[in-house]
Chain A
Amino acid sequence: MLKTFLALEDDGVSVDPAGPRLSSAELGAECAARADVYRLLSGAFVEEPGPSFVQAMRRPDVLQSLADAGVRFDTDFTLPDTESLVERLACEYATLFAATGGFPPVESVRLTGRYKQDPHFKVRQTYAKWGFALHKGRFEVFPDQLGVELMFVAELLERCSLALARGDEADYRRLEREVKRFWTQHLGRWVRGYARLIEQAAEHSFYREMARFLGGFADEEIVAMGLRIDDLDHGRAVVPKAEIRVEFNPDEPVCNSCEGVPAGPRRATGVHTLHDLR
């Protein structure tokens, strides 16, 4: 029952159903490597990148590694001096994620249209269950903020790696199951669509590329973990009006009761009843 609810595959240490079974050491290294990617992505989205993060990201070896993974920044990221790049990214960050009319990277907003809804409390509970308390960084963040959710998985994966290193396979499985659960209940439900939206909305190549990286990484993680999760955040820039579900007829004039109304009840085609929407 629980397995069905969480959409989990049968037990098995392998995280790649198609691939060969890895040794404990290989698995540990993979967990540590995955944790690093989560931290990297978290660093990009949790708040405005500071000078040290930007400098580190622009090191040739880092850029090369990312380029090998298909993440290629434009010259707006590679050329400016650190100070102006940090400033530019801070402005872009505010426009995309922190100012009115932007796209808050917060699961509650993405999935319910409001801050501080169910996901907020659920992830907070999860963090507490695993013994984590959320701290303020440069700014206060919501527990269901993208960067924090990614950071949480990074923490779990690091613990996975440590568990494997000390040969505690049971602990590893417990942690790994939590990673899958967290993806199924949280990240998997929104980050792919959201990444697509940010890729389109970003003006700066840093956010465009990091969003692409996030999307690709999420696809891979979901497949590799053998999860089946629908992304509820379709993240399309424009929804064709035909696809918008309506309870009323949007083409109906403000009032037409006095003049020119044909006799008999009028019902526009394409109007869904309340029942249809449930």
Chain B
Amino acid sequence: MDFPKITRRTFLQVSAGTTAAVAVAPRLLHAMENELGGKDFSPENAAERKAIPVNCHVCNIQDGAIAYVENDRVVKLEGNPEHVSTRGRLCAKGNSGMWYSYDPDRILYPLKRVGARGEGKWKRITWDEALTEVAGKLDAALKEDPNTIMLKYGRNRTGGTLERFMKTLGSATVLNHTSVCESSKKVGQEPTWGPDIETPDFANAKYVLNFGSNILEAAYFHNPLSQRVTEGRVDNHMKIVTFDVRLSNTAGFSDEWIPVFPATDGAVALAIGHVILREDLQDSEFIDTWTNVTVDELKAHYAQYTPEWAAKISGVSVQTIERIAREFATTKPATLFTYRGPAKHLYGSYNEKACMMLPIMTGNVEKRGGYCLPRGMGWPQPMPQPSGPKQDSVLAHPPEYPLAAHKVSHLVPFWIAEGRQKINVAFTYQDNPVYTNPGAQAVWGKLYRDEKLIPYFISMSSHMGEETALADIILPDCPYLERWEPESMPNSLWPWLGIRQPVHKSLGESRENRVLLRDIIWKLDPDGSRGMKQFWEFKDGEDYMRHHFDNVPGLKEAGGLDFLKKHGVWPIYGTLDPRTGKVTDKTGREIQAEYGLYKKELSGADIEGAMVDAHGLITKNGKAIGIRRDGHDYVGFPTGNRLINVRVDEWAEYGFNPMPTFKRIPWHETMKDDEMILSTFKLNVHKQSRTAAVKWLAEIAHSNPAWMNPETAKKLGVKTGDLVRVESPVGYLVTKAYVTEGIHPKVISIATGFGHWEYGRLATLKLKDKPAFGGTEDPDLDNVWWDDRGVHPNAIIPVVADPIGGSQGWYDTVVKVSKAGPDDKYGDIHGDWDRHYAAYKETMRYAYTGDMHRKMHPEMASWAGPESVKPKASGGH
């Protein structure tokens, strides 16, 4: 301790000697009476705890929550009892959400990079300086080509503001995160029945086939659906059969866990379908009335998918397949759920479709206890709206993936590196591909570090994620409890509208995203002469919400935004019975959902002036509005022909099989005995990347040993806790083993959400380098009893793109696992750009333009080749 000894005499001297400096030191405390305009408040008053309804956004399920605020600070989060889906309950993540706001590592001011990219050296600048700099860069980019401005978002719940921003700038280079998430699930479903997801009515089902979802811990829609799964299981004695490579907690809760060989769920689903059709257990009336194929066509097509064929591929026995097929088809009502397991493979779209065929062929669609359409609600956008960009972007709509309606953003680094499109300015918003994408730091890290490829990189973020750490400038965004956002999510069978509203003023100088974007536009077009400002004439987030919500029919009468501010959600369907945990009507009975949405009849007014074709399709003003069946005019399904398209003709145009099918992954067929498949999963307390900094959650789960089967471990001479080296074609990592029967012997599985090298002190277990971690500046760190932050596997996972849906094949990586050598250290990770690039080239061979496409589709021999296809108009979502 060598503080100078300071006496009264000393500081009298200092005072005398430093008057000049004192005079210019900032003075921020002003007499209050000048500030409050005659108002006053008592310092003696204890502040009341206020209840503010919000929408949870720790993950994307969008549960209704209540923030309890005491003294202008959130002290507790709970579920909103008026929310029909959430029913007063949040998950562990949702309960911890306030720690985003008060995190000492939160970014509170605009920061400008002063060292090399990623060096961690910053300077705090004012908003005006930041906006001036950003506007200058945008201005220059606009002069060259608006498409050189790129925006990549991860979790976009702005309700259209990001899209408005890019349209205002005239850029089509908008990238999302969907291809590393669920795009092939969406594309597997959309052309078939319209929407991109199902809502299984678990609470009323008697039988559930669960393909690769861990709904009790993660997956859409974790909290609301796990409540219903539990209800179905306990109250309704529902049987659950789970196909998964890993004994997840959902598999453990099931009646049967069937550890299927990775990437073969689709084959099993087809074989189950084969048995159902072979034994005439299908719902013929539903198929003939509501799909675009006949029962006979279906039977003929499914004849090839025998249980023997599937058993060989999947390892699931013929007897099991047959038994489950019979059980599923004869137990009514039955439903099915998939989440990412089937879809995250090279041909994920085919797998998804193969699964959804089971409730379709058994007529379990839109029935109580069945496989239901999602229910959502929309809201209008503030007017006027900017029109779309003049030119399309090859990065946003790559011609090789015409059916990937949700983009193929994980391949973008390679396309930029190849010079397919020039970028001058890149924005990132709630995205962290440097951590979450395949290749991680070896691919996106390399791209964002490269100042030639990405000359100016702007992060709009509240936290220092791995990608934000590489930014040139950081514009501090607000965590979810400080934002205005419109919400609706089909997370139960009742549609609703909701809002996020700030629980208090944003901390420091963070600004919510829509305000921040408005400020950029205002800087670019201060007097409106460039025609941009007109789309951004709003006072604040609340004002913007009024444009969304004050004119929604029904809600308007209830009070519009003011109703939502008070209740958080609309409509309110009933009262939560604390005894049963269910929402009840005035008579005390549980409210019932509406089923059979496709059988809603069109009104006389709807039909007036409409035309009906030979297939019964009802069109009005050139738009399909319904379908005539048995003399009734129904709305049908939200597809072009108002039917379920078992045969997707558009797929055939590009040489893909339009009927339900399965493709084995070629490199899985040639696996050697000592090779395994690497899969990843999420735990209940973490989401993909943004929860590692949340105190309560980090304490619950902070490391991620690799699961392996005792049989495999024995061969390798490995036991729990030993280090293993996992080597893929693009890199290797060293981690700890966790030996358990709960995993397929050919699979090694590592949880994601761990092993951060950024994201603050808790995620990284370091406080920069100096002083070393353990500085007691944060008393909570006294409680950090663990020193293992886990190992993140993405750097060794190569890119794979489903040629139809565009999804990353997360669970397709073949690896060699060995006992770690003397030079291997826990946490070693190496991913190699060149080898990732080679993997990208390889996956492009499967696109409809690639040489592998034909080889993989001998059944489409009559297809005339890529040259026969007319270029597709750009579109997508």
- Supposing A114-B103, A138-B26 touch, asked if A37 and B777 sit within 8 A by C-beta, the answer is no
Note all chain A residues with C-beta closer than 8 A to B781: 113, 239
Q: Which of A202-254 contact B (CB under 8 A)?
A: 212-213, 215-217, 219-220, 224, 232-239, 244-248, 250, 253-254
Which residues of B lie under 8 Å from residue A120 when comparing CB positions? Answer: 73
**B738 CB within 8 Å of chain A:** yes
Query: Which chain B residue lies CB-closest to A37?
Result: B11
Q: Determine if A253 and B720 form an interchain contact, defined as CB atoms under 8 angstroms apart.
A: yes
Chain B residue numbers with a CB within 8 Å of A140 are 108-109, 508-509
User: Across the two chains, which residue of chain A brings its CB closest to B693?
Assistant: A100
Assembled-state Cα–Cα distance A128/B778 (Å): 28
Interface assignment of B588: CB less than 8 Å from any CB of chain A:
no
A56-B24, A133-B32, A239-B776 are contacts. A34–B771 as well, Cβ < 8 Å? no
The residue of chain B having its C-beta at the shortest distance from the C-beta of A99 within the complex is B122
Chain A residues closer than 8 Å to B695, beta-carbon distance = 113
Interface core residue of B124, B767, B787 (most chain A CB under 10 Å) = B124
Q: Is the interface of B mostly helix, strand, loop or mixed?
A: loop
Interface status of B105 (Cβ within 8 A of chain A):
yes
Chain A CB within 8 A of B1 CB: yes
Does B114 make an interface contact (CB < 8 A)?
Answer: yes
Known: A40-B21, A253-B720. A115 touches B103 (CB 8 A): yes
B43 and A155 contact, CB distance less than 8 A: no
Give residues of chain B (693-737) contacting chain A, Cβ–Cβ below 8 Å: 695, 703, 705, 719-721, 736
Q: Which of B4, B124, B719, B779 sits near A93, CB closer than 8 Å?
A: B124
Collect the chain A residues with CB atoms within 8 Å of residue B705's CB. 254-255
A217 contacts B126, C-beta separation under 8 Å = no
B71 at the interface (CB under 8 A from A): yes
Chain A stretch 93-109: residues in CB contact (< 8 A) with chain B: 93-95, 98-104, 106, 108-109
- CB of A65 within 8 A of CB of B17, answer yes
A113–B29 CB distance below 8 A: no
Q: Are A259 and B11 in contact (CB under 8 A)?
A: no
B587 contacts the other chain (Cβ, under 8 Å)? no
Q: Could you tell me the distance between the alpha carbons of A139 and B126 in the complex, rounded to whole angstroms?
A: 7
Task: Report the minimal beta-carbon distance from A208 to chain B, rounded to whole angstroms.
Answer: 11
Minimum C-beta distance from A248 to chain B (A): 6
Q: Do A148 and B28 have beta carbons less than 8 Å apart?
A: yes
Does B852 interact with chain A (Cβ within 8 Å)?
no
Q: Do the beta carbons of B26 and A113 come within 8 Å of each other?
A: no
Count of residues in B whose CB is under 8 Å from the partner chain: 97
In the complex, A100→B108 CA distance in Å?
9
- A52 to B6: give the CA distance in the assembly, Å: 26
Given contacts A216-B6, A236-B775, A258-B740, contact A128 B104 (CB under 8 A): no
Tell me whether A138 and B720 are in contact in the complex, defined as CB-CB below 8 angstroms, given that A33-B15, A121-B72 are known contacts.
no
Would B18 and A62 count as touching, CB distance under 8 A?
yes
Q: Looking across the interface, which residue of chain B has its beta carbon closest to that of A15?
A: B8
Is B28 a contact of A137 with CB atoms below 8 Å? yes
B14:A37 contact, CB within 8 angstroms: yes
Q: In this assembly, does A59 line the interface, its C-beta being within 8 Å of a C-beta of chain B?
A: yes
Cβ-defined contact, A258 with B720, below 8 A: yes
Residues of B735-794 whose CB lies within 8 A of A: 736, 738-740, 758, 760-761, 766-768, 770-772, 774-787
* Residue A134 interfacial (CB < 8 Å): yes
Check if A212 sits within 8 Å of B105, measured CB to CB.
Answer: no
- Flag if B782 contacts A53 (CB, 8 Å): no
B877 CB contacts on chain A under 8 angstroms: none
* CB nearest to A151 among chain B residues: B29
- Collect the chain B residues with CB atoms within 8 Å of residue A101's CB: 105, 120, 464, 760-761, 766-768
Tell which of B13, B27, B105, B760 touches A68, judged by Cβ atoms closer than 8 Å.
B13
Report the minimum CB–CB distance from A271 to chain B (whole Å). 10
Contacts of A255 in B (CB 8 A): 705, 720, 738, 740
Determine whether the beta carbon of B111 is less than 8 Å from that of A99.
yes
Judge whether B48 is part of the interface by a CB distance below 8 angstroms. Answer: no
| A27 CB → nearest B CB, Å | 11
Residues of B within 8 A of A194 (CB): 777
- List chain A residues, Cβ under 8 A from B669: none
| B29→A132 contact, CB < 8 A | yes
A273 interface residue per 8 A CB criterion: no
B101 on interface, CB distance cutoff 8 Å: yes
**Interface presence of A163 (CB below 8 A):** no
Q: Bound complex: CA of A120 vs CA of B780, how far in Å?
A: 18
Q: Which of B10, B16, B758 counts the most A-chain CB atoms under 10 A from its CB?
A: B10
Return chain A residues, CB-CB under 8 Å to B7. 220
- Which of B33-41, B356-364, B647-655 forms part of the interface with chain A? B33-41
- Give the docked Cα–Cα distance between A239 and B103 (Å): 21
| In contact, A121 and B10 (Cβ under 8 angstroms) | no
In the bound complex, do residue B782 and residue A91 qualify as a contact, i.e. CB atoms below 8 Å apart? no
Please state if B768 and A250 are interface contacts (CB–CB under 8 Å). no
Which of A4-12, A42-50, A77-85, A169-177 is the interface stretch? A42-50
Taking the closest CB of chain A, its distance from the CB of B116, in whole angstroms, is 13
* Chain B residues in 8 Å Cβ range of A142: 507-508
- The answer for the CA separation of A194 and B3 in the assembled complex, in Å, is 12
Whether B3 lies near A32 (C-beta < 8 A) is: no
Interface residue ranges of B101-153 to A (CB < 8 Å): 101-109, 111, 114, 120-124, 126
What is the minimal beta-carbon distance from B252 to any residue of chain A, in angstroms?
A: 15
Task: Check B12 for interface membership: any CB of A closer than 8 A.
Answer: yes
> In the complex the two chains form, what is the Cα distance from A220 to B26 in whole Å?
24
Q: Is A16's CB within 8 Å of the partner chain B?
A: yes
Q: Would you call B772 and A238 a contact (CB within 8 A)?
A: yes
In the complex, whether A111 has a CB less than 8 A from a CB of chain B is yes
Residue of A nearest to B2 (CB): A212
- CB distance B721 to A151 under 8 Å? no
Contact present for A135 and B721 (CB under 8 Å):
no
Distance in Å from the Cβ of A150 to the closest Cβ of chain B?
10
Of all chain A residues, the one with the shortest Cβ separation from B75 is A117
Please, which residues of chain B bring their CB within 8 A of the CB of A234?
A: 776
Chain B residue numbers with a CB within 8 Å of A276 are: none
B22 at interface, CB cutoff 8 A: yes
Chain B residue numbers with a CB within 8 Å of A132 are 29-32
- The residues of B with any CB-CB pair to A shorter than 8 Å are 1-8, 10-36, 41, 43, 47, 71-73, 99, 101-109, 111, 114, 120-124, 126, 463-464, 507-509, 695, 703, 705, 719-721, 736, 738-740, 758, 760-761, 766-768, 770-772, 774-787
Would you give 29 A-B contacts (Cβ < 8 Å), ordered by A?
A: A19-B8, A36-B22, A42-B25, A43-B21, A65-B13, A66-B18, A69-B10, A70-B6, A91-B114, A91-B123, A95-B121, A98-B122, A109-B778, A113-B695, A114-B103, A114-B104, A115-B101, A128-B32, A134-B30, A137-B26, A151-B27, A194-B777, A232-B779, A236-B776, A237-B770, A239-B781, A244-B782, A246-B785, A258-B740
Task: Name 19 extra pairs, CB < 8 A, besides A128-B41, A139-B509.
Answer: A33-B14, A40-B21, A42-B25, A43-B24, A48-B124, A62-B18, A69-B11, A98-B122, A98-B124, A99-B124, A112-B780, A114-B102, A133-B29, A134-B30, A140-B508, A212-B2, A233-B777, A238-B774, A259-B719
